Amino acid sequence: MFKGHNQREGQRHAVTVYGRFRYNGRAYEVPLRDLSQTGCRFFDRHGCLAKGTPISLRIAGMGPFEAVVMWSADQYVGVRFDRPLYGPVLEHLATM
């Protein structure tokens, strides 16, 4: 279960990797800042994502991972993955 903006399930990794999300048929490149097995945080310079929005996200060329926006503030967005990331995939992405 998602714990909210300040509480996370599982360990959060500070990362600097790029991803690409799809929304309304368009793709947007985004820098990811935090990554956990259940979700991530990224900067959305377009500011087009609102809470509850479903997206498809690729992270460093891996995926797509289906996710839903859980919060949005100051152009940062927190999403929860529909399915948790597989442990070795998370570890690989966290060490990039």
What is the residue extent of each domain of the chain? Answer: 14-94
Instruction: Give me the pLDDT at residue 33, please.
Output: 86
Quick check: helix, strand or coil at residue 6? Answer: coil
| CATH superfamily to which 14-94 belongs | predicted glycosyltransferase like domains (2.40.10.220)
Instruction: Give me the pLDDT at residue 84, please.
Output: 94
Judge contact between 39 and 79, C-beta under 8 A.
yes
Query: How far is CA 18 from each of CA 3, 6, 14, 55, 57, rounded to the nearest angstrom?
Result: 25, 23, 13, 16, 10
Query: How far is CA 26 from each of CA 21, 34, 40, 89, rounded to the nearest angstrom?
Result: 8, 23, 20, 25
> Could you read off the pLDDT of 42-90 as tens digits, one per residue?
998 888 899 999 999 999 999 999 999 999 999 899 999 999 999 888 8
